[in-house]
Amino acid sequence: MEQHNGSPAGTRLWRPAAQRRVRNAWSSMFAEHTAWVSASAKGLSVANALVNALLSERYLPTLDLGALHDMVNIREKAHLKLLHQQEGYFDQLLEIYQDLVKIICRMTEASKSMRTYVKGPINRPLVEFSSDQKLDGDFGDGGGAVIFSTLSLQSFERLAEELVAMFVSELNVKRLLISEMHSAVLSSELKRQFQLDKIEPCESSANLMKSIDSKNICFPKTLNSAAASKNLNILPERDSSTQLSREILQVYLVAWLAEVQIDKCRIHELQELITEEMAVSQKRTP
């Protein structure tokens, strides 16, 4: 301690470097928050579309088709198309989820990047700082010194942890929702496969696929019966009776929208607190 941060010169040199790091860390954390908000909103609209496709497919057998009733295989084709849509929406949703994961990774990284360690002995003319610990007894926190006007590095880290924790638990909720959507999509595919195998010989379903393929709609690989039956074992058992009800799907969408784990007021508070803290110090050290 004594050889670097403890000394007045050490702290004096350490502070600007730490200020820079803390400032960067928080600005990237808040930027990730903005990125989260837009990715999550995109996810909501995709999830909405997915749920609509699931429900339309579910109600298709009882749907009154009116004048279209006599068209050959109309229900079959509609069914396949809806399955295809579900696949597409689910892929999009998965992509968005991956984006969310990346956002949280970057946020976590930023939240842990505030510690500023002294590089090399303090008595050299040029003191350098790094993000890695180089000296024993240097915790990168300037010995608990105030960085801007009132908060120490530990306080900044605690606030950052609080922020990140909210997003991590919301990400967990979203992961649950996605896995539920996944099994819903897969089970409707499997049910379809099962029905086809039972009612008609496989070739007719292959023909249907082909006829739709020829209209430039290509099916994802998982629709192939081989792949689907391979997935059979790892699927949670879900027949029509344990199918996700309309209400459950609605609650899932609301849960995605409301982001219960993220306290928006608190985030706003944090934003104000941090900005104020940094602004005051700027006024003091012109």
Question: Which residue stretch of 10-18, 129-137, 187-195, 252-260 sits at the interface with other proteins (rule: CB under 8 A)?
Answer: 252-260
173 binds other proteins (CB under 8 A): yes
49 binds other proteins (CB under 8 A): no
Question: Which residue stretch of 132-140, 153-161, 245-253, 271-279 sits at the interface with other proteins (rule: CB under 8 A)?
Answer: 245-253
End-to-end Cα, the chain, rounded Å = 29
Given the complex with other proteins, which of 84 and 174 has the nearer CB atom? 174
227 binds other proteins (CB under 8 A): no
Residues 6+ apart with CB under 8 A from 142: 5, 10, 11, 14, 15, 18, 116, 152, 153
41, 74, 105, 254: which one contacts other proteins (CB under 8 A)? 254
260 binds other proteins (CB under 8 A): yes
Binders of other proteins: how many residues, by CB under 8 A? 17
CB of 173 to other proteins, least distance (A): 6
55, 235, 255, 267: which one contacts other proteins (CB under 8 A)? 255
172 binds other proteins (CB under 8 A): yes
Nearest to 181 by CA among 101, 131, 238: 238
1, 9, 74, 258: which one contacts other proteins (CB under 8 A)? 258
Q: What is the DSSP letter of 126?
A: S
CB-based burial label for 126 (10 Å; 0-12, 13-18, 19+): exposed
Phi, psi of 192 (to 5 degrees): -60, -50
Nearest to 257 by CA among 164, 169, 163, 170: 170
Please list the residues that pair with 118 across neighbouring strands: 129
User: Which residue type, as a one-letter code, is found at position 164?
Assistant: V
3-state secondary structure of 88: helix
Given the complex with other proteins, which of 211 and 261 has the nearer CB atom? 261
Contact residues for other proteins, defined by CB under 8 A: 172-173, 176-177, 179-180, 244-245, 247-248, 250-252, 254-255, 258, 260
